[in-house]
Amino acid sequence: MMVCSGIRVSVLLSAVLLYHAAVVSAQAPAGNVPPATQPAASQPGGKDVGTGAPTVVLKPGEVPKIVFDTLAYEFPKVVVGKDVFHEFTYKNTGNGPLELLAIRPGCGCTTAGAYDKVVAPGGTGRLPIKVNTDKFSGYISKTVTILTNCPQPDAAITLIMKGEVWEPMTFMPKTVGFGRVSLQDPKGMAATQTLTIINNSKTPASLSPPKSNNPGIKGELKVVEPGKKFEVIVSLVPPLQGGVLGASLSFETGLAEYPRFEVPVSAYLSADIEVFPNRLTLPPNRSNDLQRQFSIVNNSTNPIKIWEVKASNPMIKTTVEDTRPGFAFKLLVDIPKTYPLRKGGDVITVRTDSTSSPMISIIISEAKITGPSKGEAINVGQPETRDPANPNQPTKPTGGTP
């Protein structure tokens, strides 16, 4: 079961509640208003609705009061992926207009629909709440914090949506990951991952062979227990190019309550020698000289030497520094403001003594969007395969074939 958790303290919430406490203290008879207390913080991740600032001005002696029909709704068991809806109702039992200042879901899976923001004394309002169950299984409990213009203890009220989310099909793992695989490692390229699928329903499943949306990934279905348990052998399909390889394996189940599901698959494919970023995109209308930095990384176990770095246009100057002898290098590229990008772009080539990656290319192109103002720096040529500061975390998917 996945539960969005954590605590944050809303400065705005605190300020508003203290403001209301002060207003009520001035308007209501002494002793009728509890001392201001620190409001309960909402959980992070939800999309707030409302600004938290009041628009209704209470007259002297007016004190709204909110009463919900229920503070907790327990929904009946639902199939994973089905949205859960409930409309909470509330009544203003006070003598002043009630205003809902903000709706703050405790989780990104929980959202509020259109609700009655201001309710007159004696009136009734409605607040629809939806919970998306795509990423959950088992018993869940989701909260929504309501900020009102009422005095304490009704200034902040927490509503709860809870119940059981049922998975007709359980698949382990939820996502298939190959991790980092070297394109030059035959054993790594031939490695497989096993996905186990179990049918939890009483109806036998007739699982279809998986369909992959990327030719670089395939899955082979094996029936372990007819209608009940299955295994899928997931493998890589050469030829492949370096970078992040992402795919989804989709299955038809033959079950009315859960007819189809998908399992994400990913791998990071690394060459022996890589350069980050692998492209240099220049801003248009350049008015200053530019310098860009690249990292050259040797992923193999054997140290290498860089024999030559050369740009197709001699106006571009390059400098190489050996930051970790034989395994890491820093490449500085200087581009004068007068450099004219030729049609089709230019290229920087890096020649090494590596037998598997003797040459690496960096393509130079120009952005087709409006550049920054004159003299303003722009960060261009960002990594297209992974972050150099955290090279084990890939950032941009690539296709299955070159």
> What count of residues does the chain have?
402
Q: Does residue 72 register a pLDDT over 70?
A: yes
Amino acid at 113: G
The CATH number linked to 211 is 2.60.40.60
More confident residue, 294 or 25: 294
Same domain, 107 and 24: yes
More confident residue, 85 or 33: 85
Domain boundary among 270, 294, 327: 270
Other residues' Cβ atoms within 10 Å of the Cβ of residue 91: 17
Q: Is the backbone of residue 345 left (phi > 0), alpha (psi -120 to 50) or beta? A: left
The CATH number linked to 71 is 2.60.40.10
Q: Does residue 33 register a pLDDT over 50?
A: no
| 162 closest CA partner among 235, 49, 77 | 77
Q: What is the mean pLDDT of residues 194-221?
A: 96
Residue 298, in any domain of the structure:
yes
Domain boundary among 140, 166, 192: 166
The region of weakest confidence among 258-262, 307-311, 373-377 is: 373-377
Q: Does residue 285 register a pLDDT over 90?
A: no
Other residues' Cβ atoms within 10 Å of the Cβ of residue 331: 20
Rounding to the nearest 10 degrees, give the CA dihedral for residues 153, 157, 158, 161. Answer: 130
Residue 393, in any domain of the structure:
no
Q: Which residue has the tokens 């899976």?
A: 109
Other residues' Cβ atoms within 10 Å of the Cβ of residue 165: 23
Rounded CA separation 267/181 (Å): 7
Q: What is the structure's pLDDT at 368?
A: 72
Rounded CA separation 198/363 (Å): 48
Q: Does residue 300 register a pLDDT over 50?
A: yes
Q: What is the structure's pLDDT at 344?
A: 79
Same domain, 30 and 47: yes
Separate counts of helices (H) and strands (E) for the chain:
2, 28
Q: What is the mean pLDDT of residues 239-262?
A: 91
Q: What is the structure's pLDDT at 369?
A: 55
Q: Residues 308-358: pLDDT tens digits?
A: 999 999 999 999 999 999 999 999 999 999 999 888 789 999 999 998 889
Domain boundary among 112, 139, 166: 166
Same domain, 152 and 19: yes
Q: Do the strands 98-105 and 138-148 form a parallel or antiparallel pair, or are they unpaired?
A: antiparallel
- Helix residue ranges, H only, 152-297: 186-189
Beta strands in 242-327 (DSSP E): 243-252, 260-270, 273-276, 279-282, 290-298, 306-311, 317-324
Q: What is the structure's pLDDT at 243?
A: 84
Same domain, 162 and 16: yes
Residue 306, in any domain of the structure:
yes
Residue 394, in any domain of the structure:
no
Residue 171, in any domain of the structure:
no
Rounded CA separation 309/307 (Å): 7
Residue 400, in any domain of the structure:
no
Same domain, 221 and 355: no
Rounded CA separation 351/359 (Å): 5
Q: Residues 41-67: pLDDT tens digits?
A: 333 456 678 777 899 999 999 999 999
Q: Which residue has the tokens 């007016």?
A: 62
Same domain, 367 and 301: yes
Rounding to the nearest 10 degrees, give the CA dihedral for residues 359, 365, 367, 372. Answer: 90
Residue 154, in any domain of the structure:
yes
Same domain, 161 and 16: yes
Q: Residues 114-159: pLDDT tens digits?
A: 999 999 999 999 999 999 998 888 999 999 999 999 999 989 999 9
Q: Does residue 5 register a pLDDT over 60?
A: no
Domain count, the chain: 3
Same domain, 203 and 302: no
Q: Which residue has the tokens 């395969």?
A: 385
> Mean pLDDT of all residues in the chain?
82
Task: Determine the structural domain holding residue 300 and report its residue range.
Answer: 279-382
Contact present, 147 and 104 (Cβ < 8 Å): yes
Same domain, 116 and 240: no
Rounded CA separation 225/230 (Å): 7
72: helix, strand or coil: strand
Residue 396, in any domain of the structure:
no
Q: What percent of the chain has pLDDT over 90?
A: 62
Rounded CA separation 331/276 (Å): 10
Q: What is the structure's pLDDT at 134?
A: 86
Q: What is the mean pLDDT of residues 291-316?
A: 93
Q: Does residue 372 register a pLDDT over 70?
A: no
Same domain, 317 and 262: no
Q: Does residue 71 register a pLDDT over 60?
A: yes
Q: What is the structure's pLDDT at 317?
A: 95
Q: What is the structure's pLDDT at 394?
A: 39
Q: What is the structure's pLDDT at 45?
A: 52
Rounded CA separation 61/29 (Å): 8
Q: What is the mean pLDDT of residues 283-301?
A: 91
Same domain, 283 and 371: yes
Same domain, 212 and 116: no
